A and B are shown apart, each in its own frame.
Chain A
Amino acid sequence: MHKKMAFSFPDEVLEHVFSFIQSDKDRNAVSMVCKSWYEIERWCRRKVFVGNCYAVSPRMVIRRFPEFRSIELKGKPHFADFNLVPDGWGGYVFPWIAEMAGAYPWLEEIRLKRMVVTDESLELIAKSFKNFKVLVLSSCEGFSTDGLAAIAASCKNLKELDLRDCEVDDLSAHWLSHFPETYTSLVSLNISCLGSDEASFSALERLVRRCTNLKTLRLNRAVPLDKIANILRHAPQLVEFGTGTYTADVRPDVYSDLAGVFSSCKELKSLSGFWDVIPDYVPAIYPVCSKLTSLNLSYATIQSPDLIKLVSHCPNLQRLLVLDYIEDSGLEVLASSCKDLQELRVFPSDPFGAEPNVSLTEQGLVAVSLGCPKLQSVLYFCRRMSNEALVTIARSRPNFTRFRLCIIEPKTADYLTLEPLDVGFGAIVQYCKDLRRLSLSGLLTDRVFEYIGTYAKKLEMLSVAFAGDSDLGLHHVLSGCESLRKLEIRDCPFGDKALLANAAKLETMRSLWMSSCAVSFAACKLLGQKMPRLNVEVIDERGPPDSRPENCPVDKLYIYRSIAGPRFDMPPFVWTMDEDSGLRLS
């Protein structure tokens, strides 16, 4: 019966139906129904997402999806953000660009995360894709403003240029002038990571003035406060705005100009930037606060009283990023003022100080969890925690989907009972049934992993550091977490047994990272031999792993599933274990 129905629709109808299916998961499911659906789906898939650029080769992607318009690629493992992945590890986008440039000229969107992007790649993009519209580079590196100039000069239909958290070689701010005077299609520009001092303000102002569809503009720190008014004056339609440095000599005329211009921005929903803030200028944004849904103050070094005043003006806030200067008292105000809050991130102002410099404790997080019914995503840095607080948080906020807690000192126990925090995190996974992402910290034994394996059935990503007692901990996670896709572990006493016993599990995940653990070289070799669809990479800057005894632990291990086989662009300190039970050096 079913088979008959599937064939009774002409392809065009099916294609039309499929066009309403946007999520990759659903599309993948659709393509598995039958052969003809697979064929139809692959011809009409317009957006491709590759979570690990080494899991598949560019050619394979192009072969299967001949007409995609948008691609998203991710490169380095997440821990690269914290300097745990040595420079030169990989994640080069050029081979992808080269293949795509050859395959078809109608690519419109490229989104990259943690990849190495060279000027050559950017120039190739500029040259090859005539209708190129969107370039989003998130935590990427390897390029300079020269590459950006090429994009600016050639991409006539560019709508979005977003460089978030990138390391850019800032040779000159004049790249902005490469946008031709006739170019007006910019909708979103994020240059917050650029450093150049001699920012070309006039080119920026002219660009903003002529791009009347501009909705998002995030400036970099180099743009002084007194220039912002001029820029905003020409873009009252902005929905998202990021200031530059928010400090200047206090002058009433500059202040009123700024306040006036903010008042005229009726559509503004999101603010960010605020480097080097001085409190006197903060009230200038009060006119827009009531409409704000997103506020990023994570670079703003203003103290609690000023933060409290600001936050009290923003009743519709859904997303807040802030430094721990907000303190417990500020978070209590947040809890009572911002009932729509969904996401909170509190960053440490003095992460390397031995002593706390602010009065921010677990109480702040408890207050927000109790007070904000829609809170689902939290990233919280603090210096002390208790099981009691965690249980309260879990019970009051079972709708958490992302819970990332970082207690700054590794292996910190419950400050009230001096016990491990197993029970607290156990409560989190037990009550928060939709938890997709979890980061652990503090003193933790194998028990917390038992809880996680038992309860965290929807967990997709787990980050672990300085935790656990034995392989049992790792075993609980690998055997219990059914939805696990990404597991990253550092400085835990996990060794060979759990890894080898759960080898098959690794093929159901995107990747596993283990550094400063107890996995031996022998185990890595075995895994590489037995699991041809896994790339087992040993990263060790001390020298070849076979120059030490086999049972020596490797420094860093990165395992990911791949249908592309081992890669060939590895630096000298990375070895792939493969079926030849030997080493493959690049």
Chain B
Amino acid sequence: MELQLGLALPTPNMLKGFDLNNHGLDQLKEMGGLEAWNKAAGCFADKDCVKSKRSFEQAFGNFTEECRTKPLLLWSGQPNEEEDHKDQKKATFSTTDENDAEEDDQVVGWPPIKTWRKKIFQQQQQPRVGRAENNRVAENENGRSIYVKVKMEGVAITRKIDIKVYHSYQSLTNSLITMFTKDKECNEDDYILTYQDKEGDWLIAGDIPWQNFVRSVQRMEIVRNWG
């Protein structure tokens, strides 16, 4: 029953390196996992705010009123799962199994081609130029640098970073903290890092393996932690 909603328990390990999220991590532990997820999803359905892909505002604006105690557990677009017939293996179950969101109905790890080689094939098959939206500012043809906009709540300037430069959530957040504390004095515990993925959904950074995150992040926003 609990898996019907396709919720993946983010293992504490995945969130570990991510300082900004520590609040949520504690709460997650307290609440003992699955019940909390069920509750959160129920909250969603009640609010009826999930018929289609929502904007960031909707996602977090409505939430924080109803689900104050668990802001970090929310998974945008959850009840959509039933209706969402796009063949999307969207980071639901064990996300590390997903080779690449592009191979939607592929069996994991099949055909047995080394990750390294697969990367080259994909770079050769699909020059990524076409995919660029405003947010994914620039991407070299062979995917060397991927520039992504990062906005911080309350800060006028939107920055651009090359996500390829980082190898983990930890290194990313460290860098962002350094960058943004120049703009706005803040306590890093008060903020959460969120990102918009390829489908336009806003998610909390840290739940999926780093490599998958790099492939799907379109832009990021650092928001206040209402918890």
Contacts and interface: CB of A to CB of B under 8 A. Distances in A.
A79 interface: yes
Interface in A137-167: 139, 144, 165, 167
B96 interface: yes
Contact of A410 (B11, B110, B118): B110
Given A299-B120, A543-B9, A83 B108 contact: yes
B111 A348 contact: yes
Contact of A83 (B96, B111, B120, B140): B96
A541 B96 contact: yes
A543 B120 contact: no
A305 interface: no
Nearest to A543: B9
Interface stretch (B75-83, B99-107, B148-156, B185-193): B99-107
Grouping DSSP codes into helix (H, G, I), strand (E, B) and loop, the B interface class, with mixed when no group exceeds half, is loop
B113 interface: yes
Given A352-B103, A555-B94, A82 B13 contact: no
Contact of B116 (A193, A348, A381): A193
A406 B112 contact: yes
Nearest to B166: A169
Interface string A323-334: 000000000000
Size category of the binding interface on chain A: 35 or more
A582 interface: no
Contacts of A276: 124
A311 B174 CA distance: 51
A195 B111 contact: no
Given A169-B167, A197-B144, A543-B9, A351 B109 contact: no
Given A169-B167, A572-B11, A82 B109 contact: yes
Contacts of B8: 541
Contacts of B112: 81-82, 406, 439, 463, 465
A347 B117 contact: yes
A117 B106 CA distance: 30
B26 to A, nearest CB: 16
A439 B8 CA distance: 33
Contacts, number: 95
Contacts of B121: 349-351
A95 interface: no
B114 A165 contact: yes
Nearest to A465: B110
B142 interface: yes
A571 interface: yes
Interface stretch (A49-57, A84-92, A228-236): A84-92
Size category of the binding interface on chain B: 35 or more
A40 B5 CA distance: 63
Contacts of B209: 86-87
A274 B72 CA distance: 47
Contact of B113 (A144, A347, A410): A347
Interface string B113-144: 11111101100110000000000000010101
B42 interface: no
A46 interface: no
A82 B110 contact: yes
A542 B94 contact: yes
Given A83-B96, A144-B167, A347-B117, A490 B109 contact: yes
Contact of B94 (A167, A169, A541, A571): A541
Contacts of B96: 83, 86-87, 541
B165 interface: yes
Nearest to B120: A299
B66 interface: no
B28 to A, nearest CB: 13
| Among A83, A167, A347: residue with most chain B CB under 10 A | A83
Nearest to A381: B111
B33 interface: yes
A83 B115 contact: yes
Interface in A383-413: 406, 408, 410
A573 B14 CA distance: 11
Interface in A426-484: 439, 463, 465
Nearest to B118: A351
Nearest to B107: A410
8 contacts: A84-B108, A87-B96, A165-B116, A167-B115, A169-B167, A348-B113, A541-B11, A572-B13
Interface of A: 79, 81-84, 86-88, 139, 144, 165, 167, 169, 171, 193, 195, 197, 221, 275-276, 298-299, 301, 347-352, 381, 406, 408, 410, 439, 463, 465, 490-491, 541-543, 555, 571-573
5 closest A-B pairs by beta carbon, nearest first, are: A541-B94, A82-B109, A86-B96, A169-B167, A84-B109
